Chain A
């Protein structure tokens, strides 16, 4: 069965650069959640979208923005990158906002 697809799997950026992470939810899923997991930390909720509209906002910095497109894929845009942004970024999807039990493989972002 198709799972949540994230790209790229690994990304290395320099400070103050920008990065765009992509998430392709499971087919027919209409809700996407973004989580950030720092080294040794638990996943922290960043933002979610339901039917292409932002549904909730967590601890997402103002330097980050995200959107969900008509095909339900989502992109997380990160600007003015800082060393502390280095983390695993997970996307999860669900149908009808059931909490996102299916996670993508994540994007490991390293800011140098």
Chain B
């Protein structure tokens, strides 16, 4: 079966660093996406990892370990506007490349 797990909720303080973990067990793997989603809005692409290692993009970094079925999203210098849900999604490898989403992590940033 397909299983992608993330913590349900996290809280952090403005200016701090937070790490959101994602573990996955899927029948196929062809890359892992992280999205940010504000309530009622579309998911916004943050990062994509297909090889092991760290991808850095400004205040956001994403790490992947394929052997461990594990990824994390690291957010630095948190801002109030970072309060949102963060979705981990695995791209399947069945020829159609659909995305399988995790349950999402709701992050609240406090002043």
Q: Are A105 and B103 in contact (CB under 8 A)?
A: no
Q: How many residues of B contact A (CB 8 A)?
A: 25
| Bound CA span A84–B94, Å | 29
Residues of A within 8 A of B94 (CB): 56
Chain A residues positioned under 8 Å from B91 (CB to CB): 98-99
- Number of interface residues, chain A, beta carbon within 8 A: 26
Could you list 27 A-B pairs, sorted by A, with CB under 8 Å? A35-B101, A42-B101, A45-B98, A45-B99, A48-B96, A48-B98, A55-B96, A56-B94, A56-B95, A56-B96, A56-B98, A90-B43, A94-B97, A97-B97, A98-B97, A99-B31, A99-B33, A99-B97, A99-B99, A100-B98, A103-B35, A103-B43, A103-B44, A103-B45, A105-B41, A106-B42, A108-B40
Residues of A whose CB lies within 8 Å of any CB of B are 33, 35, 42-45, 48, 50, 55-56, 58, 88, 90, 92, 94, 97-106, 108
